[in-house]
């Protein structure tokens, strides 16, 4: 079990941790746009494409 934080891989960063990992157990599907529109999250990088 971890602390929910990711490891910072940037050697030039003074931070120990990177992004927070989340797991969502909603009863209905909520997409990132809906969360962003509700000011529940901040999307930093826009126009990402699936791998």
What pLDDT does residue 4 have?
A: 64
Q: What is the DSSP letter of 17?
A: E
Please report the pLDDT score of residue 37 as a whole number. Answer: 93
Cα 41 to chain centroid, rounded: 8
Strand extents, DSSP E, 5-44: 5-7, 17-20
pLDDT, averaged in runs of 10, over the chain (51 residues):
72 81 73 87 73 63
User: Tell me, what's the pLDDT at 41?
Assistant: 84
Beta-sheet pairing, 5-7 with 17-20: antiparallel
Which pLDDT does position 2 carry in this prediction? Answer: 62
- The pTM (predicted TM-score) of the whole model is 0.37
């Amino acid at each position: 079990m971890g602390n929910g934080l990711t490891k910072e891989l940037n050697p030039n960063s003074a931070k120990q941790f990177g992004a927070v990992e989340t797991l969502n157990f909603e009863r209905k599907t909520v997409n990132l746009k809906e969360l962003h529109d509700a000011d529940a999250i901040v999307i930093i990088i826009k126009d990402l494409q699936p791998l």
